[in-house]
């Protein structure tokens, strides 16, 4: 028969314009990204660069004291002024970004490392395992997090890694719950039944069939967790249970500056602004990611 051949020729003709418009389509797609994502990504990128190069950018070492320049207001010499020991606040804020990010990221990695496997398994296996895991998580969530952290840090010597581990463990329930609910949704998909029909092993189904589909949602949740960890870490330092002096930590700096807030407000304001920008940047990135990745929100743009 002659016509199927012609049909394929026509198909080729149809695809031609699509190839020609590809670059403009790519640009249009880039333009269509939500502004929140672009702004958030830019802010987080700057934050990462600053944290990575803090030692190189900082005009002074964070613990160098300028005894004659104590309480200098912001100037060209000391961009954000100096504190009661004459230490450059700007340099300390830059160095402090390392601690905040370290805390935020390591706590999130820990919570994902525990929460994602738990959620995947609970959603995949269901039954008794599911019940035990979920009720255990409910129990954890029943305690106010700040109380739990304070309790542990008050009776044992504080350290930044310990803080990270505790905040990480506290973030396990939301991560595990999100993972489980997405997994449950995926389990009804027929591609999972096809995997069962092939007799696939559990680990293959978890890692290759389920995890890639859970990932987008987890990225969004992770950004929220980083924000939570940064803020909680700052609160702990502020209360004196987190990072110990003379480290340059934002929460600690705000706490130290309290005494002088009338005469030298810059000591507290500078780390406060840094923390605000960090939280806003990561939150925007998370919101933007959700808008791009969540199919339920896709139509509204």
Partner 1 sequence: MPPLLELRGLTVRYRGESGDTTAARDISLVLQPGEALGLVGESGSGKSSVAGAVLDCLGPSTRIDGQIMFEGQDLLALPRPRRRAVLGRRIGAVFQDPFTALNPALRIGAQIAEPMMHHLRMRPADAHRRAEALLVEMGIARAADIARAFPHQLSGGMKQRALIAAALACEPPLLILDEPTTALDVTVEAQILRLLAELRQRKSISVLFVSHNLGVVRRLCDSVAVMYASQLVEIGPAERVLDRPAHPYSLGLLASRPPLEAAPRGSRLPAIQGQMPIAPQPELACVFAPRCPFCEPRCETTSQSMVEMPSGAHAARCWKTGTLGPWPRQAISAQAGPAFRPGDALVNVTGLRREFATRSGMSAWQVSFTGGLPRLRHQVGRVAAVDSVSLTISPGEVLGLVGESGCGKSTLGRIILQLIRQGSGSVEFDGHDLAMLAGSDRHDFRRQAQIVFQNVGSSLNPRLSVGDALGRPLTLFGLADRRTRAAQVDALLEMVRLPASYRLRFPHELSGGERQRVAIARALASKPRFLVCDEPVSALDVSVQATIINLLADLRDEFGLAYLFISHDLAVVAQLSDRVAVMYRGRICETGPTAEVLAAPRHPYTRTLLASAVDDLPAAGVADTPPAASEFLAVNIRGG
Question: Which residues form the interface with partner 1 (CB under 8 A)?
Answer: 1, 3-4, 6-7, 10-11, 14, 25, 28, 32, 188-191, 193-194, 196-200, 208-209, 212-213, 301
Q: What are the angstrom distances between the C-alpha of 32 and each of 19, 217, 234, 293?
A: 20, 20, 36, 13
**What is the closest distance, in whole angstroms, from the C-beta atom of residue 133 to partner 1 in the complex?**
16
If the CB atoms of residues 32 and 68 are measured against partner 1, the closer one turns out to be 32
Q: Where are the beta strands (DSSP E) in the chain?
A: none
Give 7 or 67: the residue with its C-beta nearer to partner 1: 7
Q: Does residue 246 have a cis peptide bond before it, meaning omega lies within 30 degrees of 0?
A: yes
Cβ nearer to partner 1, comparing 24 with 156: 24
Min CB(111)–partner 1 separation in Å: 23
Q: Where are the alpha helices (DSSP H) in the chain?
A: 3-20, 22-32, 35-52, 54-57, 89-125, 127-142, 145-155, 160-170, 172-187, 190-197, 202-204, 211-239, 250-257, 266-293, 295-298
Of 3 and 142, the one with the shorter C-beta distance to partner 1 is 3
Check the CA dihedral 114-115-120-123 and report its sign.
positive
Min separation Cβ 196 and partner 1, Å: 5
State the nearest-atom distance from the C-beta of 284 to partner 1, in Å.
Answer: 21
Which one, 69 or 130, has the nearer CB to partner 1? Answer: 130
Cβ contact 211:179 at 8 Å: no
Least Å distance between CB 34 and partner 1?
A: 12
Measured from the Cβ of residue 53, the count of other Cβ atoms closer than 10 Å reads 11
Shortest Cβ distance from residue 96 to partner 1 (Å)?
A: 39
We find the least distance from the C-beta atom of residue 43 to partner 1, in angstroms, to be 26
Please, which residue, 198 or 258, has the CB nearer to partner 1?
198
Q: Which is nearer to partner 1, 47 or 178 (CB)?
A: 178
- Cα 285 to Cα 19, 35, 49, distances in angstroms: 32, 10, 16
| Distance (Å, whole) CA 119 – CA 115 | 6
Q: Give the residue carrying structure tokens 């020991």.
A: 85
Maximum Cα interatomic distance, the chain, rounded to a whole number of Å:
96
């Amino acid at each position: 028969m002659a016509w199927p051949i012609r049909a394929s020729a026509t198909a080729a003709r149809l695809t031609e314009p699509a190839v020609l418009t590809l670059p403009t389509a790519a640009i249009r797609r880039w333009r269509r990204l939500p502004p929140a994502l672009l702004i958030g990504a830019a802010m987080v990128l700057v934050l990462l660069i600053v944290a990575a190069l803090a030692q190189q950018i900082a005009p002074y070492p964070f613990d160098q004291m300028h005894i004659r320049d104590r309480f200098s207001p912001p100037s060209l010499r000391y961009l954000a002024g100096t504190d009661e020991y004459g230490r450059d606040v700007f340099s300390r804020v830059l160095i402090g970004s390392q601690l905040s990010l370290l805390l935020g990221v390591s706590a999130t990695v820990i919570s994902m490392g525990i929460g994602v496997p738990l959620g995947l398994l609970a959603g995949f296996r269901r039954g008794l395992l599911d019940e035990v895991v979920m009720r255990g998580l409910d129990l954890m969530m029943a305690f106010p997090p700040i109380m739990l952290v304070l309790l542990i840090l008050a009776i044992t010597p504080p350290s930044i890694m310990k803080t990270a581990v505790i905040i990480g463990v506290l973030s396990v329930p939301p991560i595990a719950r999100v993972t489980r609910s997405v997994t449950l949704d995926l389990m009804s998909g027929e591609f999972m039944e096809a995997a069962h029909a092939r007799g696939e092993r559990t680990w293959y189904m978890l890692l290759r069939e389920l995890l890639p589909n859970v990932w987008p949602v987890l990225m969004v949740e992770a950004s929220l967790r980083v924000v939570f960890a940064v803020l909680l870490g700052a609160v702990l330092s502020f209360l004196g249970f987190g990072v110990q002096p003379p480290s340059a930590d934002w929460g600690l700096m705000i706490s130290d500056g309290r005494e002088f807030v009338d005469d030298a407000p810059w000591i507290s304001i500078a780390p406060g602004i840094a923390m605000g920008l960090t939280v806003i940047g990561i939150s925007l990135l998370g919101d933007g990611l959700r808008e791009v990745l969540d199919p339920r929100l896709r139509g509204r743009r």
